[in-house]
Amino acid sequence: MRSATPWRDRLRFRPLSVFGMTLMWMLLWGSASPVIVLSGMLIGYLIDIVFPLPPIFWQGKLRPLGVVVLVFHLLWDLVVSSFRVVALVFHRRVNLNAGIVRVDLHSDNDLYQVQVAEMISLVPGTVVVEVVRSPRRLYLHVIDLVGDEPLARVQRMVFDVESRVLRAFGSDEEIAQFNEALELHPDPRATEMEVES
């Protein structure tokens, strides 16, 4: 099977991709010597040729205030969730009340879907186990599914993260579409797929 990417496009130097891989190479070696930097650039360029990434179409804009809010809430969620996990660890009888929850997203963009999935997976107690592109959907493994409407709570958490991602990186039209979709479907659409005892 032949690649759909023409060789002329493959040979093009993509500085952001190559420099990102060079930085990772330097971190792996723990050195910033000229040999490490040059070899990292060469390896990054070769990886870019052999394994080209699909293009990402981003029509949004960087919103500094939205990024600050996004980072603040991520740090807050990390702290709160870490305390919840620690509290579960010290219970005499461990019952995680875990389950797989399906959540449908309102935005329709690969980049935002990946950002939402990554930010949710960073928070202790939640892990994205599957990402579906069409329709936009995440399957989460969640612990501590107790209390009033635990599925609605998970859904609200995902929508809050999705909203903050869009308000940090989305265009005005994407934010308006997201708000419109929330108004059309205000009820949580989380579905519990399987609950572990």
Q: Do 168 and 75 contact (CB within 8 A), yes or no?
A: no
pLDDT band (50, 70, 90) for residue 7: low
Domain ranges of the chain: 7-50, 64-195
Q: Please report how the helices 150-169 and 64-89 are oriented relative to each other, as an axis angle in degrees rounded to 10.
A: 150
CATH of domain 64-195: 3.30.70
Answer whether residue 68 shows pLDDT above 90. yes
Phi/psi for 79 (5° steps) reads -65, -50
pLDDT band (50, 70, 90) for residue 146: confident
DSSP code for 54: P
The residue-averaged pLDDT of 84-110 equals 84
Bridge partners of residue 102, in order along the sequence: 139, 191
Tell me, yes or no, if the pTM score tops 0.75: no
Give the model's pLDDT for residue 137.
92
